């Protein structure tokens, strides 16, 4: 394979990321967005995640951004603060070359280093074998399917829930001095 680099995203990567996501919104069912967000909106989303301490990575092949992956909060309420939800998108031309797997593995490592304990994938469309496959390869377990919760391109769409423990998972308590007051 040509030279692949997986690294933290910088603002100069955002036009490529916006383009990759635009294709996924317009032609795919992995995301339930219907209107592609523009560069300004993608920049706002990126800034919010970085400010929140979440990892946001790109895969660059010979210097060209070909994919990206990030996590954000699974849900906003504070007891969920050790659980993240991930996203990973590649340019269609480079699917099934191991890049999604490497991005997701690195994302897991980054999340473990930050002390997160569970990662959840909410996979749009139960027909998305590539996403189910890459998450399985990364140790995610199947939790279940929410049938028919989306509607896009004239058909009802499921979401598939997969989950993976990070680091020590639930076997130890987190290093978090807010636990006592929030229990
Ligand atoms: C899902 C996605 C990120 C996977 O990335 P990828 O680089 O194509 O996948 P990889 O080549 O790393 O595949 C890793 C493993 O996943 C599984 N896999 C990948 N594509 C698959 C497919 N089409 N069918 C079945 N299993 C597949 C295989 O186990 C594969 O390992 P193998 O090639 O040694 O058999 C990529 O296809 C993508 O961007 N899809 C569109 C957007 C999307 O669905 N994102 C996920 C949102 S939850």
Residue-wise pLDDT tens digits, 38-60: 999 999 999 999 999 999 999 99
pTM recorded for the entire structure: 0.96
The span from the CA of 159 to the CA of 145, in Å, is 6
Q: Which residues contact residue 10 at a Cβ distance below 8 angstroms, ignoring those fewer than 6 apart?
A: none
CB 125 within 8 A of CB 29: yes
pLDDT at position 183 is 43
Which secondary structure element, helix H or strand E, spans residue 147, and what is its range? Answer: strand 141-152
- Per DSSP, helices labelled H in 39-118 are 39-51, 99-113
Q: Is the pLDDT of residue 177 over 80?
A: no
Q: Which of 17, 100, 152 to mutate to test the pocket of ligand 1 (most atoms within 8 A of CB)?
A: 100
The span from the CA of 176 to the CA of 79, in Å, is 12
Residue-wise pLDDT tens digits, 57-71: 999 999 999 999 999
178 alpha carbon to ligand 1 midpoint, in Å?
A: 38
Q: What is the mean pLDDT of the chain?
A: 95
pLDDT at position 2 is 80
């Amino acid at each position: 394979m040509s030279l692949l680099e997986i690294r933290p995203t910088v603002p100069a990567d955002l036009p490529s990321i916006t383009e990759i996501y635009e294709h996924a919104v317009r032609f795919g069912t992995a995301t339930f967005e219907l209107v592609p967000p523009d560069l300004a909106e993608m920049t706002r989303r990126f800034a919010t995640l970085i400010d929140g301490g979440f990892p946001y990575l790109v895969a660059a092949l010979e210097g060209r951004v070909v994919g990206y992956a990030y996590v954000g909060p699974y849900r906003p309420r504070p007891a969920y603060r050790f659980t993240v939800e991930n996203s990973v998108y590649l340019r269609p031309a480079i699917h099934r070359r191991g890049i999604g797997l490497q991005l997701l593995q690195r994302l897991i490592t980054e999340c473990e280093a930050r002390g997160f304990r569970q990662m959840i994938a909410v996979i749009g469309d139960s027909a998305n074998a590539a996403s189910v496959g890459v998450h399985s390869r990364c140790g995610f377990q199947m939790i279940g399917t929410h049938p028919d919760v989306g509607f896009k391109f004239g058909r009802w769409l499921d979401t598939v829930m997969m989950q993976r423990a990070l680091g020590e998972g639930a076997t130890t308590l987190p290093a978090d001095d807010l636990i006592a007051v929030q229990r």
